[in-house]
Every structure is written in structure tokens, then in C-alpha cells.
Amino acid sequence: MEGRLKNQIAIVTGGGSGIGRATVLRFLAEGADVLAVDRNEEGAIETASMAGNGPGRVHAMTADVSGDNAPDDVFALCREMFGTPTILVNNAGIGAAKPIHTTDDAALDRFLDVNLRALFRFARRGVIEMRQEGTQGSIVNIASIFGIVGFPGSSVYSATKSAVIGLTQNMAADYGRDGIRVNAIAPGLIVTPMTEKRLAENAFFQDAMIGSTPMGRTGTPADIAAAATFLCSDDANFITGHTLTVDGGWSTTKYRPLPDEPYA
């Protein structure tokens, strides 16, 4: 079914690659107008060039979401191009953390700046604009299963993603009466430029992730785009404050293949 996001105006951060790109393309196919924001200019332009002949319009914007003026600049351009956004997908993020004893202050600050501070500031801008316009909007924050389940070596990354889930729950409480829904998605292992090298080269990572996933595969950016589409559509009208895990069952099981002779 297409057209689930007809007449919607969306901002997608990190729209120049991976999950963000798939979300931009799916939203366009579903009829939304989309501002694809990324600090990687080439990536954002490439995403826009991949748009089909669907009903939605797309514009690529180059911006670092952690810049002081980024929320003002991005929302101003969105208003100018399409109108007040009705959807915000806070997706831009950085990965590949280290254990805490080898994480220096510079890395700590970098993760906090991009994965938490920028997301907070975009979300704040989003609710301010939506409330001003009386928009029944939807905000989706991209968290991670590592914000729910402890995983070796993910220290500050996990901390930022847990904080994103906490913020999502709080915002749902604060803005439900304004008709603004705020949800998070916690992706499992999705093959994107963020993960593909680690996945190809690291046997521990492959086994710990794919070996422990009941569905027996990695996720695709399209899997997350589908979840974001659902959460932003009318089908999710009564869903807010929820964190939707999209991980093939990784975080809700301790999956191991059952041996031929299981326990009695």
C-alpha cells in the first residue's frame, strides 16, 4: 500500500547514507515531501538523485546536525521549500565506540554532541514548530538495541542511545496532549557503511550478532524505513513513547541453535 504519508512534510537527518537514505526514499514513495539532511554533501545529493517518479518532492541539504545553528537552518529551509514539517526523523549518528577504559574525553564529547545533543536540539525545535502550527506531528528517534541491552565495547554509544530512549518516553508524556507522537526505533545489526567493515572483518561481531539472531540474517536499511513509515502513519495513531526493536529477535531472546539432542 502506497500513499501512507500523503500530505506529510518530513525532515530526515543523516539522509545521505544507510538507514536515513532508505527512509527518505520510502517516505517519498509514500507521498511525503522530504528534506534530506546530511553533513556529507555528496551522499545527500545522491539520495535525492535516487528518488523515483513518486508523488513526493525531495531536497538535499548539507548540514552538520551538531552545529549551533543547524536546527534553525534546517527548519527554515524546510518551511521555505515545503512548509512546516509534520515528521522529524532524528537519524544522524555515529557508531563504533570502544570500552570505557579506552574512551577518551574527545570521543565522549563527539558521541554526546552528535548522538544526543544534536538529536535533543532538533527534537526541541520540532515540537516548538509543531505546537506553534497546531500540527499533529510525529517524531521518530533512531536509538539502538545497544541502548537496551549491554553489549561489549559499546560504552558511550550505548549511553547515548539509552538517553535517546529516555528522552523519547519523556517527550511522549509532555506532548501527547498537543497531538504530537514521539517514538524510537531500536535497530539491530543493519548492514550500512557504519557496520559493513566490522561485520565483514570481525568474526566475534558476526557470531555475536547473526549467530544470536533467531531470524538468522542481518537487517536492511529498508527494514528500518518500513518501521519508521509505520510509526509516522495513521496506523500508529495511538502509539507514542514506544521503542520499536527491529532486530530479528536479537534483543528479546538469547538465541542459540538448538542441538539435535536438546536438554531433557
Residue 81 lies near ligand NAD (rule: CB under 6 A): no
Is residue 118 within 8 Å of 92, Cβ to Cβ?
Answer: yes
Q: Which of 5, 8, 9, 18 binds ligand NAD (CB under 6 A)?
A: 18
Number of residues this chain uses to bind ligand NAD (CB under 6 A): 28
Which one of 46, 64, 73, 133 is in contact with ligand NAD (CB under 6 A)?
64
Considering the rule CB under 6 A, would residue 20 count as an interface residue with ligand NAD? yes
**Residue among 160, 74, 60 nearest 110 (CA):** 160
Q: Which stretch binds ligand NAD (CB under 6 A): 88-96, 122-130, 148-156, 248-256?
A: 88-96
Stretch that binds ligand NAD, among 60-68, 98-106, 171-179, 252-260 (CB under 6 A): 60-68
Out of 157, 175, 255, 263, the active site residue is 157
Asked if 223 is part of the footprint of ligand NAD (rule: CB under 6 A), the reply reads no
Q: Which of 51, 81, 94, 149 binds ligand NAD (CB under 6 A)?
A: 94
Q: Does residue 8 interact with ligand NAD by CB under 6 A? A: no
Contact 20, 196 (CB under 8 A): no
Q: Which stretch binds ligand NAD (CB under 6 A): 4-12, 16-24, 74-82, 166-174?
A: 16-24
Q: Is 157 a catalytic residue?
A: yes
DSSP-assigned letters across all residues of the chain: ---TTTT-EEEEETTTSHHHHHHHHHHHHTT-EEEEEES-HHHHHHHHHT--S-S--EEEEE--TTSTTHHHHHHHHHHHHT-S-SEEEE---------GGG--HHHHHHHIIIIIIIHHHHHHHHHHHHHHHT---EEEEE--GGGTS--TT-HHHHHHHHHHHHHHHHHHHHHGGGT-EEEEEEE-SB-STTTHHHHHH-HHHHHHHTTT-TT-S-B-HHHHHHHHHHHHSGGGTT--S-EEEESTTTTT----PPPSS---
Residue 219 near residue 245, CB atoms below 8 Å: no
- Among 5, 10, 19, 123, contact with ligand NAD (rule: CB under 6 A): 19
For residues 115 to 144, the per-residue mask of contacts with ligand NAD, x marking binding by CB under 6 A and - elsewhere, is: ---------------------------x-x
State the nearest-atom distance from the C-beta of 246 to ligand NAD, in Å: 9
Near ligand NAD in 177-216, by CB under 6 A: 187, 189-190, 192-195
Does 248 contact ligand NAD by CB under 6 A? Answer: no
Residues known to be catalytic? 157
Q: Which residues bind ligand NAD (CB under 6 A)?
A: 14, 16-20, 38-40, 43, 64-66, 91-95, 114, 142, 144, 187, 189-190, 192-195
